[in-house]
Chain A
Amino acid sequence: MKTLKEMLAEARQVVPEEGPQQVQRRLAAGEPVVVIDVRDPDEYRDGHLEAATNISRGFLEFRVGTAVTDPSTPIVLYCQTGLRSVLAAKALKELGYATVINLQGGYQKWVQSGLPVVREVPMTADQIQRYSRHFLLPQVGDRGQKKLLRSKVLLIGAGGLGSPIALYLAAAGVGTLGLMDGDVVDLTNLQRQVLHTTADIGKPKVESGARMLKALNPDVNVIPLPMRITADNVMDVIRDYDLIVDGSDNFETRYLVNDACFLAGKTNVHGSIFQFEGMATVFAPNAGPCYRCLYPTPPPPGLVPS
């Protein structure tokens, strides 16, 4: 009979191990790795890697097929300290999964390395009903919804573009929405800026916007920022957000948002409209072009009506 020590030593011979930093680099680079937390559900709930799916050790061989559809996809396994998972990894190798990596030191070492973890916040009965249609979409599901609820999006402009975007994102359950606009609601806005109502005329757009969004979905934490975006405040404002949405109505702001997002490494979801035409694109720093690649200079002032 083998001792536990021998079994672990045997598993380590066939299972490569990677430290938390190495695994984090893979995830940050967007590599198509599947991360599986093989601990028990209560351990997973107390905190886990954001990318991880929970399949307890006891069910691993039975359920791994649902998490990993292609056996050539690299898999990272972890448990609390890296022992249970190394044995689990050996079992997956024997099932024919080509690359199975054990997270060295497990969850414990990941936390000690100061890397980010998420706590499983159980959804309320209302939330389960509210987002039930999202749960039916395999690309969203329960995990995707929780990710949305943890996400922070900054909307620059609460006007023609910002209004519908804010409403859709609040409805979808994006947890934190920063709403930035220095204007007040004008009667001429109301034919298209659906975030505001007739009773809001004269009030700051972020105030009426925040009220409307909270009424639509009380889950959403709306942060009203009643100011124009400037070179002095932009870096401080965008720092806290995962994603920036540019729904501004002038070129000066667009170049500023573009430059700031590129310098801060933030993705900028860009849109603009004029009369019956509109356009949208995503500026992802270093992954694609920026607004300046598209429009090196703004059109001369006389050419476009404001």
Chain B
Amino acid sequence: MQATEVVKLLLGIGEPLVGRLLTYDALGMRFREVKLRRDPTCPLCGTSPTIKDLSIHMNGGGACEIATERHREGVAATVGAAPKPGG
């Protein structure tokens, strides 16, 4: 799936998975598509970003914990797609 997306993006063809999350459940053999919207309160890509460089990633720790007061649930929580740890 990721490989197909790469080829499509490189060639500029089709509809890439931008703003859509595709989830796959192998046991139930079901795919589900969830629309994703940009979060205006996102500290990185929101309207008033607080992350402007990678300094929060330096010296270890804290980089993931940047959520603002309003920006804490995230889109995934509302659509019930828990993050997957593995690669």
Q: Which residues of A contact B (CB under 8 A)?
A: 30, 139-140, 144, 147-148, 151, 153, 157, 159-162, 164-165, 168-169, 172, 174, 230-232, 234-235, 242-243, 245, 247-252, 255-256, 258-260, 262-263, 267, 269-290, 292-299, 304-306
Contact = CB atoms under 8 A, between A and B. Distances in A.
A256 B63 contact: yes
Contact of A277 (B25, B39, B63): B25
A273 B84 contact: yes
B54 A299 contact: no
B6 A293 contact: no
Contacts of A243: 6, 9-10
B5 A269 contact: yes
Nearest to B18: A288
B65 A287 contact: no
B54 A289 contact: no
B20 A281 contact: yes
Of A168, A248, A263, A271, most buried by chain B (CB within 10 Å of CB) is: A271
A280 B75 contact: no
A169 B6 contact: yes
Which secondary structure dominates where chain A touches chain B?
A: mixed
Contacts of A279: 21-24, 81, 84
Given A289-B36, A292-B42, A293-B45, 16 more contacts: A144-B11, A148-B11, A164-B3, A165-B2, A249-B85, A252-B64, A270-B2, A271-B2, A273-B87, A276-B25, A276-B27, A278-B84, A279-B24, A280-B21, A285-B45, A306-B85
A258 B13 CA distance: 24
Nearest to A286: B45
Contacts, number: 211
Interface string B1-34: 1111111011111101111111111110000000
Of A148, A260, A289, most buried by chain B (CB within 10 Å of CB) is: A289
Interface of B: 1-7, 9-14, 16-27, 36-39, 42-46, 51-58, 63-67, 71-76, 81-87
Contact of B57 (A168, A259, A273, A298): A259
B7 A148 contact: yes
Given A153-B6, A272-B86, A274-B85, A282 B39 contact: no
Contacts of B3: 164-165, 168-169, 172
Of A165, A235, A306, most buried by chain B (CB within 10 Å of CB) is: A165
A189 to B, nearest CB: 11
Of B9, B26, B53, most buried by chain A (CB within 10 Å of CB) is: B9
B75 to A, nearest CB: 5
A266 to B, nearest CB: 11
B10 A153 contact: yes
